[in-house]
Amino acid sequence: GDSVTQMEGPVTLSEEAFLTINCTYTATGYPSLFWYVQYPGEGLQLLLKATKADDKGSNKGFEATYRKETTSFHLEKGSVQVSDSAVYFCALSAAGGFKTIFGAGTRLFVKA
Amino acid sequence: DADVTQTPRNRITKTGKRIMLECSQTKGHDRMYWYRQDPGLGLRLIYYSFDVKDINKGEISDGYSVSRQAQAKFSLSLESAIPNQTALYFCATSDRHRDNTDTQYFGPGTRLTVL
């Protein structure tokens, strides 16, 4: 069945460091891929998404590129801030499917 | 005002009690979902509903039941709560008609503790 695997956390970075959170997926066809973010005490919210191969989703300085050949959707940010401290979830929604599959989440701590 | 609201936000109860968690949305979405979040396990789907008359079990439905009272309301019940149902519960919505990616919109969550 469909699945999402993302790197375990926590990830601890200093402010202005480069961030990469790895995500790979298994799915048939061409799923839509997502990154959701969960700030402390809140529900998940969409950070970015991509719907086809080689698409790049971007938002708030975060980027992720849909790589069909490596079945990956890694999240990157060039310079993290303390306010980026949160849990990040990679997810997929299968084409023609009826539910979203979430990864386990990666907690990011950014130190001032 | 929040588009997806959940009540209560926090609840402490005892083993064997019946508990209802409520979710309301003003987004006009047709699909609604209940998820459970446990540390290190991500989100697991409990139940989902594509409209008022269509309710489906998710991957961990045992011990839970749901009711879709209206397009905007979807409640989750624990008929007889047990300690391993202690978790953070999220309601979510999506609108497949206007967004074929099925982007999910989440409520703020209900933290449930079963003693």
Q: What is the per-residue pLDDT across A76-95, written as a single tens digit (0 to 9) for each?
A: 999 999 999 999 999 999 87
Residue % of chain B over a pLDDT of 70:
98
Given this model, what pLDDT does residue B105 score? Answer: 95
**Torsion, CA B75, CA B55, CA B64, CA B10, rounded to 10:** -30
pLDDT higher than threshold 70 for residue B87: yes
- Would you say B75 and B23 are in contact if contact means Cβ atoms under 8 Å apart? yes
Given this model, what pLDDT does residue B56 score? Answer: 94
Contacts of A43 in chain B (CB under 8 A): 4, 90, 92, 106-109
Given this model, what pLDDT does residue A96 score? Answer: 67
Given this model, what pLDDT does residue B95 score? Answer: 87
Mutate to test the interface with A, among B59, B95, B106 (most CBs of A within 10 A): B106
Strands (E), chain B: 4-7, 10-13, 19-25, 31-38, 42-51, 54-57, 64-70, 73-78, 87-94, 105-106, 110-114
The model's pLDDT over B41-71, given as tens digits with 9 standing for 90+, comes to: 789 999 999 999 999 999 999 999 999 999 9
**Torsion, CA A61, CA B27, CA B39, CA A84, rounded to 10:** 20
pLDDT band of B1, cuts 50, 70, 90 = low
pLDDT higher than threshold 80 for residue B37: yes
Query: Closest approach of chain B CAs to the CA of A87, in angstroms?
Result: 10
pLDDT higher than threshold 70 for residue B5: yes
Which residues, 6+ apart, have CB-to-CB distance to B70 below 8 Å?
B52
Contacts of A34 in chain B (CB under 8 A): 101, 103
Query: Closest approach of chain B CAs to the CA of A21, in angstroms?
Result: 15
Given this model, what pLDDT does residue A111 score? Answer: 97
Q: Inspect the interface and report whether the beta carbons of B107 and A43 lie closer than 8 Å.
A: yes
Given this model, what pLDDT does residue B40 score? Answer: 75
Q: What is the pLDDT along chain A (112 residues), one digit of tens a residue?
A: 889 999 888 999 999 999 999 999 999 888 999 999 999 989 999 999 999 999 999 999 999 999 999 999 999 999 999 999 999 999 999 876 678 999 999 999 999 9
- Across B71-93, average pLDDT: 96
Contacts of A93 in chain B (CB under 8 A): 101-103
Please tell me whether residue B45 adopts helix, strand or coil conformation. Answer: strand
Mean residue pLDDT across chain B: 93
Contacts of A105 in chain B (CB under 8 A): 40, 42
